[in-house]
Chain A
Amino acid sequence: TQLLEQSPQFLSIQEGENLTVYCNSSSVFSSLQWYRQEPGEGPVLLVTVVTGGEVKKLKRLTFQFGDARKDSSLHITAAQPGDTGLYLCAVPNNAGNMLTFGGGTRLMVKP
């Protein structure tokens, strides 16, 4: 059983649609990060959420940390082909020097 379960694993949608992806766990975390990895590139940090119930927005992306700090969601409004990529959630260990990644959600946005 993975520490972080991401769903769905794959998502293919049309440009302009809205979507939500999830990162779930039974453990409580001090913080959680979301990364986006475009094909052939390294992951890029999108956001870090720290406080239970916290909502952060990055243009058309809305990130929420669960009240109990066990889960998180990423909502994309009016998806564009440039949003295509692998979305990874990750949590640090207690020392903060290592990350555990979820399995990722692979998103494809078709024009």
Chain B
Amino acid sequence: DAMVIQNPRYQVTQFGKPVTLSCSQTLNHNVMYWYQQKSSQAPKLLFHYYDKDFNNEADTPDNFQSRRPNTSFCFLDIRSPGLGDAAMYLCATSSGTGILYSEQYFGPGTRLTVT
């Protein structure tokens, strides 16, 4: 089945220790998104790629970076995690074309704990 995969599902890192979260998709979608979701809140968009075109949200901290080496993979790098960065990180994709462009398909998320 076509899907969005996130690894790992749970990640523990130390304060200030860089961490990378990964996302892959078999949907062959043009657009990939990274969201941060804190407890009982809606997902907050960090950035997205249309193909290789990177789009950063204005309020995304510089501490968060992303890479998309090819269509299938996208990475979220947190350079110096703080306690406030503990959250669920969601990857999503959308087709990027047609009337269903805006429909997004989410991975299961990576829950990040910062100690």
Spell out A's residues near B (CB within 8 Å): 31, 33, 35, 40-45, 48, 86, 88, 92, 96-99, 101-104, 106
- Report the separation of the CA atoms of residues A1 and B17 in the bound assembly, to the nearest whole angstrom: 36
List 9 contacting pairs A-B, 8 Å CB cutoff, sorted by A: A41-B109, A42-B6, A88-B42, A96-B101, A97-B94, A97-B96, A99-B45, A101-B43, A104-B42
B89-115 residues with Cβ-Cβ distance < 8 A to A are 90-92, 94, 96, 100-109, 111
Spell out B's residues near A (CB within 8 Å): 4, 6, 31, 40-43, 45, 48, 50, 55, 90-92, 94, 96, 100-109, 111
B42 x A97 contact (CB < 8 A) = no
Q: How many A-B contacts if CB must be within 8 Å?
A: 58
- Report the separation of the CA atoms of residues A93 and B108 in the bound assembly, to the nearest whole angstrom: 24
B106 x A43 contact (CB < 8 A) = yes
B109 x A33 contact (CB < 8 A) = no
A50 vs chain B, min Cβ distance (A): 8
What B residues does A35 contact at CB under 8 A?
Answer: 106
What B residues does A92 contact at CB under 8 A?
Answer: 101-102
A45 x B107 contact (CB < 8 A) = no
What B residues does A103 contact at CB under 8 A?
Answer: 41-42
A45 x B103 contact (CB < 8 A) = yes
Chain A residue at minimal CB-CB distance from B91: A42
